[in-house]
Amino acid sequence: MRSFSDGTKANVLKYVVYTGANNETMLEAISEVNGIAFDGNETLQIELANNKHYTILFWAQNENASYYTLDTANKTITVDYSGAACNDENRDAFYGVLSHTVTGATTLGVELKRPFAQVNIGSSDFETAANAGLVPSTSKLVVKGVCNTLNLLSGEATGSVEATFDAANV
């Protein structure tokens, strides 16, 4: 398995700022920046109080990706696999966590990573299949026991659902 797509379908960045010893205090509701063109050099300015520790959760996705639910209280993202199709790059998403004690103006970087992987299915008999008149043009995948919730702080994945990725062009 490997990560998929070039990430250009993710064009909305959501972030939540927490403080407190166990990140229990959320400073405000989800903030959202639209129209992001992720090229590795995006800049976001957040003003925070000096001498306080903060944890900021970042989540980036496509603006039309209604299958993700960000739960700010539990600091998780949950995926709804209903209606999923194979090869749907609009499902590409990224997340990151930045933990920092503010001691003055500074510039920090955070790397956003893909929480998902791509399953590649290969075959060494395409020529044999084509000679027999079988030329596959679509793919469908059913995965049983797949996790559907990710804790954005710890990176722990939980849940166990059956996900069907409907047929789509290969």
Computed from CA positions of residues 137, 143, 148, 151, in that sequence, does the dihedral angle turn out positive or negative? negative
Residue 40 has pLDDT above 70, yes or no: no
Nearest one of 113, 152, 158, 159 to 26, comparing CA atoms: 152
Judge whether 2 and 120 are in contact, CB under 8 Å: yes
Element (H, E) at 148: none
Considering the chain, what percentage of its residues have pLDDT values greater than 90? 46
pLDDT digits 0-9 by tens, 94-106? 999 999 999 999 9
Element (H, E) at 43: none
Distance (Å, whole) CA 55 – CA 25: 10
DSSP state of 85: B
pLDDT digits 0-9 by tens, 115-165? 877 677 777 888 888 899 988 888 888 999 999 999 999 999 999 999 998
Six-digit token string for 155:
């990176």
Residue 36 has pLDDT above 70, yes or no: yes
| Per-residue model confidence (pLDDT) at position 127 | 86
Distance (Å, whole) CA 168 – CA 84: 10
Rounded to two decimals, what is the model's pTM? 0.84
Residue 2 has pLDDT above 50, yes or no: no
Residue 3 has pLDDT above 50, yes or no: no
Residue 42 has pLDDT above 70, yes or no: yes
| Per-residue model confidence (pLDDT) at position 56 | 94
| Per-residue model confidence (pLDDT) at position 159 | 95
Residue 92 has pLDDT above 80, yes or no: yes
Distance (Å, whole) CA 115 – CA 157: 9
The two most distant CA atoms of the chain are separated, in Å, by 71
Residue 37 has pLDDT above 60, yes or no: yes
Distance (Å, whole) CA 126 – CA 123: 6
**pLDDT confidence band for 68 (50 / 70 / 90):** very high
